[in-house]
Amino acid sequence: MLSKQQALFAKNLAKLITKINDDGNFCTMGESYRTPEQAALYEKQGKGIAKSLHCSRLAADLNLFSPDFKYQTAKSFYKPYGEYWESLHVQNRWGGRWTKLVDSNHFEMAVVD
């Protein structure tokens, strides 16, 4: 059931945000929900895929900031959080591991069949 998986995703996302803050860093929400039309547009622009898990509310982008509120874009800053995210559930995926389109601030949960 999709709503059950969305609830688990939200619970895991709350744990990730708590960890980020507990480490002394900060985050803001980037894109979480994406319409299918927007996903198709991003795919045409080479910035995403049409079947994005954002459309199912199973993906979120987090913008990370260091303790002095400097915006961080380096994959190395996101890596410990990507690894933590993956440790929370076997279906969790971190966009920093992708090879075709690295998306370090992307955290998702694969759909259960």
Q: What is the pLDDT of residues 85-107, one digit of tens each?
A: 999 999 999 999 999 888 999 99
Residues of the chain with confidence (pLDDT) below 50: none
H or E element in which residue 72 lies: strand 71-72
Report yes or no: 30 and 60 within 8 Å, Cβ to Cβ: yes
Domain ranges of the chain: 2-30+61-109
Amino acid occupying residue 39? A
Q: What is the pLDDT of residue 64?
A: 98
Residue among 75, 81, 74, 105 nearest 25 (CA): 81
39 conformational bin, left if phi > 0, alpha if psi -120 to 50, beta if neither: alpha
Longest dimension (CA), the chain: 43
Percent of the chain scoring above 70 in pLDDT: 99
Q: What is the pTM of this model?
A: 0.94
